[in-house]
A and B are shown apart, each in its own frame.
Chain A
């Protein structure tokens, strides 16, 4: 959860352990409170898997609360990403073990600063414990833990890596259980630990190579590969794994993973499309992908065949990068690669070793994900501020809107929609309305905002005429947003855009009826309904299209907007027709509604049944079934 910096605490610990370190001066340290506990994972096929995982204690005291409580922790597999800041010399983890086995912590490639283990026991009894060194002449004892243990069921221990003299190593690391790791790591006791050389600098400059620039990056993505053998997990959960009298599975020598996960997820679980939902990535940027394999098998990450520069392995920087579109990612290894996507779009990222099924099912599963690369027009949001609100953006404003646009396009919605949504929000904002703009200025604002040009007088005159014929300002806005000129302008700046029809159709209801960006959960639901329908047949697509339209129009959220008849007709053109209305049609329908000749429900049905909307539905049908 939250990272604490505690200079005083560190000094205390260091005094207690190795007082000489104090002379090192400034001590910067990363400090975490970590808990291990059991959890379960329900697979898409319904199988429930017992997992062991890590979670951060929410109030850093390890004292109270259970899983999921406000004062507790949330167990996940992989565990949370622990970050060690560039200046930090040490990483301290206060650890509590709520598992039935003793647990110790181990970071591959880095030794503990203070290790009061290792721990050996007699085998198979596991009853006599030797600590620190193997008993002289005893060649039968087997190591249980690489370091001091936290006792089962609530035991605590502290682990510190790095010293002032030998700081925590820069790079991508795997923290795992150091106790019977074949069992415990397999069960899920692993998490990524990351330390940068500097801000947005993954590794240092190599001074011996002329022109070396280090490994700078713009964005960072963490990708963790691991697997599950459900039979072993079940045996561990039942206490019948390993050197125990009633064992059903005694060792992992015949392990057969049935589920292969990226970031603890198997396709098609949410979170893999895109895998970088939380990482805004635009074409041409340097994406640092940190690949972790805490699993027990080799995997071969492949980023849709795009070449990456491999810069480091196991947190060791290469002298020269390797240009490859995939690579062998061995169990226990990490690889840091820079990917500079040349194009925007959604590209698959998967395991070339083809672990692409969930427990052998015919449908796609396993280690499959998608990387979404966005396109943006630098300065465009700021230009909207200037063009509509005639002011500079407020602090955080551009980032907020950029984030909204990112999420929208990452969910597969047409990237133009982000700018349309931004324009709608600005032109309908209290701030803009309070300007009491005259019609000709409004039209000029539309031209300048959406088309980035000043209109000619005849153009202004034309639109003033349209307004005079009874159309609303928002109707005009829609005409601009769905004009050929806007499309051309955007594609000239964003690059060619192809969007699956169902994505836009679903989003149309958020924009047209709720006047907002799609939220991820809701959008994913309707998208999956629509995609299921596309695989079922044309009638089902028509039915779902009707259902979503009726549900949105009848939703409390829409009701709460208290739309007038004028606005209602405007919204129907927006949501159902995805265009600005023609004045003849607009006035005709509005009159019918105002005269009480049709109800809103009936009007909605007319729109749904219109050949124009059904043509759009036909596009959705034509987009076809996406497996």
Chain B
């Protein structure tokens, strides 16, 4: 049982039922990070993780070289003074947004500061964080604008999550989600299982756990052990929507149709580029490569999600081994009585809002370069450019 003493200090007597709000602090950029005694944005309590992000706008460069305007979240460097956030974080939206990684049992304080849209000063949109798929969520931290408050421009909102359930999730802004997600307010998130932290030599139903072993879930038998892990977040941009946005035109919701399908915010061949992709501002908004590399014989974990607002995507690889889907929606694929419901597939379909944990066992696969690509192959395009889109490379080397 966790019982955190600091709460007693920071939580005022329950006011919600009477007053509803606590008296406003003059400065609305507020970072809440319990246990951070020196103000560097990092909690001294190892079980508390803090992160500060900005919600705003920026540009991303597509696989055909075109820069598209978008919204997303930036990573506010730990320790940034509250007064400097709005000034520093303009046009620093990352695409995808910063990745959230937690260990099971940790408490996470995520402060999102709405820094406004530099290129759209006419807009006053709030932003939010919706941790997608979080089990037993409460509306107050669900980021949904309808049943909760969402941060206005210039304000911060601290979300709290107790990392109770390991697995692959993702997160996004849920304010006017069709627009804000299309514009790019999407990011990865996952929680590592407590099984990773077991003492060396622990017996897991006949499987011998060793320190350093990594699992996707608390499987109890080592069946979700992997060696290397990669995030694959599928999404797409509809360039007409983004162009209408920066041109301050009516937004074409009905016509929305992603024509730049991407992995981790990039279209092939940018997917294999290990470096950040620089946009027209010279900022590396697209910080995530999608190149997959491993040694032969290793088990590669793919944490797969789809955040497209228009498309369901299906992918396959040329490795010649099945996509071993061991998790779905941040849950181990096992029935209520323990029956194995994992799936071995050659093509995996990922709808918007779906997450899958896929293990590729490269045992017996020769060293070389292989391909992971959208088998619904219209999506092998960067807009009007062929041989792009949702494709990346898997490079296997001999150990």
Determine direct contact between A and B, CB below 8 Å: yes
With A and B bound together, what is the CA distance between A458 and B275 in angstroms?
100
B265 within 8 A of A: no
B246 within 8 A of A: no
With A and B bound together, what is the CA distance between A139 and B271 in angstroms?
9
- Contact of A298 (CB < 8 Å), options: B270, B349, B383: B349
User: In residues 308-338 of chain A, which contact B (Cβ within 8 Å)?
Assistant: 313-316, 319-320, 328, 330-334
A142 within 8 A of B: yes
Q: Which residue of B lies closest to A297 (CB)?
A: B376
- Contact of A319 (CB < 8 Å), options: B257, B322, B340, B389: B340
- B346-A252 in contact (CB<8A): no
If A243-B385, A251-B386, A314-B347 touch, whether A109 touches B312 (CB-CB below 8 Å) is no
With A and B bound together, what is the CA distance between A186 and B344 in angstroms?
26
- B371-A146 in contact (CB<8A): yes
Which of A132, A186, A255 is the most central at the interface, judged by chain B CB atoms within 10 Å of its CB? A255
With A and B bound together, what is the CA distance between A254 and B259 in angstroms?
8
- Contact of A143 (CB < 8 Å), options: B314, B319, B339, B371: B371
Which residues of chain B come closer than 8 Å to A186, judged between CB atoms? 377
If A109-B320, A252-B386 touch, whether A141 touches B376 (CB-CB below 8 Å) is no
Which residues of chain B come closer than 8 Å to A123, judged between CB atoms? 269, 387
Which residues of chain A come closer than 8 Å to B321, judged between CB atoms? 111
Residues of A within 8 A of B (CB-CB), count: 51
Stretch at the interface among B1-9, B213-221, B361-369: B361-369
1/0 contact trace for A95-116 toward B, CB 8 Å?
0000000000010111110010
Chain B's nearest CB lies how many Å from the CB of A321? 13
User: In residues 340-399 of chain B, which contact A (Cβ within 8 Å)?
Assistant: 340, 343-347, 349, 364-365, 368-371, 373, 375-389, 391, 393
- B387-A331 in contact (CB<8A): no
- Contact of B384 (CB < 8 Å), options: A140, A253, A296: A253
- Contact of B272 (CB < 8 Å), options: A134, A243, A250, A315: A134
A301 within 8 A of B: no
B182 within 8 A of A: no
- Contact of B347 (CB < 8 Å), options: A297, A320, A331: A331
- Contact of B346 (CB < 8 Å), options: A242, A314, A319, A328: A314
B273 within 8 A of A: yes
A133 within 8 A of B: yes
- Contact of A250 (CB < 8 Å), options: B312, B316, B370, B385: B385
- A313-B345 in contact (CB<8A): yes
Stretch at the interface among A175-183, A382-390, A424-432: A175-183
Chain B's nearest CB lies how many Å from the CB of A166? 6
- B386-A298 in contact (CB<8A): no
Which residues of chain B come closer than 8 Å to A106, judged between CB atoms? 318
A531 within 8 A of B: no
Chain A's nearest CB lies how many Å from the CB of B311? 10
A144 within 8 A of B: yes
B234 within 8 A of A: no
- A178-B318 in contact (CB<8A): yes
Which residues of chain A come closer than 8 Å to B320, judged between CB atoms? 109-112
With A and B bound together, what is the CA distance between A298 and B319 in angstroms?
23
- Contact of A296 (CB < 8 Å), options: B274, B322, B378, B387: B378
If A108-B375, A144-B387 touch, whether A328 touches B259 (CB-CB below 8 Å) is no
B268 within 8 A of A: yes
Chain A's nearest CB lies how many Å from the CB of B60? 17
Q: Which residue of A lies closest to B376 (CB)?
A: A331
- A108-B316 in contact (CB<8A): yes
* Tier of interface size on chain B: 35 or more
Which residues of chain B come closer than 8 Å to A331, judged between CB atoms? 314, 347, 375-377
1/0 contact trace for A122-137 toward B, CB 8 Å?
0110000000111000
Main SS class of interface, A: loop
Q: Which residue of B lies closest to A332 (CB)?
A: B375
- A316-B377 in contact (CB<8A): no
- A252-B381 in contact (CB<8A): yes
User: In residues 75-122 of chain A, which contact B (Cβ within 8 Å)?
Assistant: 106, 108-112, 115, 118
- B371-A250 in contact (CB<8A): no
- B384-A250 in contact (CB<8A): yes
Which residues of chain B come closer than 8 Å to A332, judged between CB atoms? 314, 316, 346-347, 375-376
With A and B bound together, what is the CA distance between A134 and B273 in angstroms?
12
If A139-B269, A139-B270, A328-B349 touch, whether A253 touches B383 (CB-CB below 8 Å) is yes
With A and B bound together, what is the CA distance between A334 and B347 in angstroms?
9
Q: Which residue of B lies closest to A183 (CB)?
A: B386
With A and B bound together, what is the CA distance between A182 and B95 in angstroms?
26
- A111-B378 in contact (CB<8A): no
With A and B bound together, what is the CA distance between A250 and B320 in angstroms?
30
Which residues of chain A come closer than 8 Å to B385, judged between CB atoms? 124, 243, 250-251
- A251-B371 in contact (CB<8A): no
With A and B bound together, what is the CA distance between A139 and B376 in angstroms?
24
Q: Which residue of A lies closest to B342 (CB)?
A: A319
- Contact of A251 (CB < 8 Å), options: B270, B316, B339, B383: B383
With A and B bound together, what is the CA distance between A250 and B257 in angstroms?
17
A185 within 8 A of B: yes
Q: Which residue of A lies closest to B367 (CB)?
A: A133
- Contact of B380 (CB < 8 Å), options: A115, A181, A297: A181
Chain B's nearest CB lies how many Å from the CB of A80? 21
Which residues of chain B come closer than 8 Å to A178, judged between CB atoms? 318
If A252-B381, A253-B379 touch, whether A118 touches B269 (CB-CB below 8 Å) is no
With A and B bound together, what is the CA distance between A480 and B253 in angstroms?
71
- B388-A142 in contact (CB<8A): yes
- A330-B386 in contact (CB<8A): no
Which residues of chain A come closer than 8 Å to B378, judged between CB atoms? 182, 251-255, 296
With A and B bound together, what is the CA distance between A142 and B270 in angstroms?
10
Which residues of chain A come closer than 8 Å to B275, judged between CB atoms? 139
- B380-A182 in contact (CB<8A): yes
Which of A166, A331, A334 is the most central at the interface, judged by chain B CB atoms within 10 Å of its CB? A331
User: In residues 218-265 of chain B, which contact A (Cβ within 8 Å)?
Assistant: 257, 259, 261
Q: Which residue of A lies closest to B272 (CB)?
A: A139
Q: Which residue of A lies closest to B387 (CB)?
A: A142
With A and B bound together, what is the CA distance between A111 and B320 in angstroms?
4
Q: Which residue of B lies closest to A232 (CB)?
A: B378
Chain B's nearest CB lies how many Å from the CB of A469? 72
If A115-B368, A139-B270 touch, whether A252 touches B316 (CB-CB below 8 Å) is no
If A134-B393, A296-B378 touch, whether A108 touches B386 (CB-CB below 8 Å) is no
- A333-B322 in contact (CB<8A): no
Chain B's nearest CB lies how many Å from the CB of A524? 36
Which residues of chain B come closer than 8 Å to A146, judged between CB atoms? 318, 371
- Contact of A315 (CB < 8 Å), options: B269, B340, B346, B386: B346
Which residues of chain A come closer than 8 Å to B322, judged between CB atoms? 109, 314, 316
With A and B bound together, what is the CA distance between A112 and B320 in angstroms?
8
Give chain B's interface residues, CB within 8 Å of chain A. 257, 259, 261, 268-270, 272-275, 312, 314, 316, 318-322, 339-340, 343-347, 349, 364-365, 368-371, 373, 375-389, 391, 393
12 interchain pairs, CB-CB under 8 A = A108-B346, A124-B385, A142-B388, A143-B387, A146-B371, A181-B373, A183-B386, A242-B386, A243-B387, A296-B377, A330-B375, A333-B346
Given contacts A108-B346, A144-B387, A328-B349, 4 further A-B contacts (CB under 8 A): A316-B322, A330-B314, A333-B346, A334-B346
Q: Which 8 A-B pairs have the closest CB atoms?
A: A111-B320, A314-B346, A109-B346, A332-B375, A251-B381, A316-B344, A182-B377, A253-B381
